[in-house]
């Protein structure tokens, strides 16, 4: 914690437990709830209907409406970056997120000044979001999963338990990362990825269905996957082939994601003699 002035809340605020500590520079909405022994640190805004559980710590952060910070979670902690020298940075979170027990979400570093979390996300127990990450809406991080610094995770992505994601990697929207995977390169939107080091395993059909994709859109994504990764074409030629077909917005977003990659794109594992993608890939 900073050396800023602190004050124990007076009992006239029943929404803040008398044992909680709230920094003088913090703003807690009257409809928010702050539990026993929680700490609301400097320059923090707790939005309406947000709850901060017992022994949780929130500092240098802006939290929107209806977030749930469970006991023992730490939101807005200093970056675990040796280059960080105490610069004033922040974590900004949208609405309706759940941060479970002992999860840690760090604020930004001097590089960007901000870690940004969308809305409707679930960060399960012991998950970690490092400095300068960008996490989209409705993302799930399962238990023990860790995002290194500067990772970007797109809307609707699901990252299973005990996954490690290298710094600067991008996870595309509606991607699914299987448990225990180690991710060193960008994972394209809509795909399933698994392994150490991880490879693509097909299309995330279940995730697309839950995300409201039509059957036609899913079939279009499946065809694009085959063109990109199973046709034998160099990736640059495969992308050009997709572009010539005047793709719809879903495929255009996929092509844009791949073309913007700086770390390289995760590919399917070689499986001589049989195609990687079959019609059941991604079904539950």
Asked if 66 is an active-site residue, the reply is no
The helix-helix angle for 215-225 and 249-259 (nearest 10°) equals 30
Which residue is catalytic, options 17, 132, 161, 202? 132
- Which residues fall within 8 angstroms of residue 151, CB to CB, at 6 or more apart? 129, 130, 133, 134, 165, 166, 167, 168, 169, 170, 171
What does each C-alpha distance from 39 to 49, 96, 173 come to in angstroms? 17, 20, 34
Return left, alpha or beta for 37; rule: phi > 0 is left, psi -120 to 50 is alpha, else beta: left
Candidates 55, 272, 283; CA nearest to 40 is: 55
Catalytic residue among 17, 55, 128, 131: 131
Structure-token pair, residue 102: 């002992």
Query: How open is the CA angle 10-14-15, to the nearest 5 degrees?
Result: 110
* Residue 149 appears among annotated catalytic residues: yes
Set 149, 154, 172, 202: catalytic member: 149
- Which of the residues are catalytic? 131-132, 149
């Amino acid at each position: 914690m900073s050396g800023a002035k602190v004050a124990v809340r007076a009992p006239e605020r029943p929404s803040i437990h008398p044992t909680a500590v709230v920094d003088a520079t913090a703003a807690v909405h009257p409809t928010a709830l702050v539990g026993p022994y929680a700490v609301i640190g400097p320059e923090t805004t707790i939005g309406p209907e947000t709850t901060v559980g017992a022994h949780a710590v929130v500092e240098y952060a802006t939290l929107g409406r209806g977030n749930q910070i469970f006991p023992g979670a730490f939101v807005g902690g200093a970056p675990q970056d040796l280059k960080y020298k105490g610069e004033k940075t922040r974590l900004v979170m949208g609405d309706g997120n759940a941060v479970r027990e002992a999860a840690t979400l760090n604020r930004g570093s001097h590089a960007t000044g901000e870690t940004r979390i969308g809305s409707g996300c679930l960060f399960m127990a012991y998950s970690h979001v490092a400095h300068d990450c960008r996490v989209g809406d409705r993302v799930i991080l399962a238990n023990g999963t860790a995002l290194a610094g500067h990772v970007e995770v797109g809307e609707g992505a699901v990252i299973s338990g005990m996954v490690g994601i290298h710094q600067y990697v991008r996870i595309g929207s509606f991607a699914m990362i299987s448990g225990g995977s180690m991710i060193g390169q960008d994972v394209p939107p809509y795909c399933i990825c698994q392994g150490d080091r991880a490879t693509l395993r097909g299309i995330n059909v279940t995730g697309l269905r839950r995300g409201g994709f039509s059957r036609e859109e899913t079939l279009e994504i499946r065809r694009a996957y085959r063109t990109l990764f199973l046709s034998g074409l160099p990736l640059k030629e495969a992308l050009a082939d997709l572009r010539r077909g005047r793709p719809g917005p879903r495929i255009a977003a996929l092509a844009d994601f791949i073309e913007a990659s700086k770390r390289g794109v995760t590919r399917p594992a070689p499986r001589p003699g049989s195609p990687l993608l079959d019609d059941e890939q991604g079904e539950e």
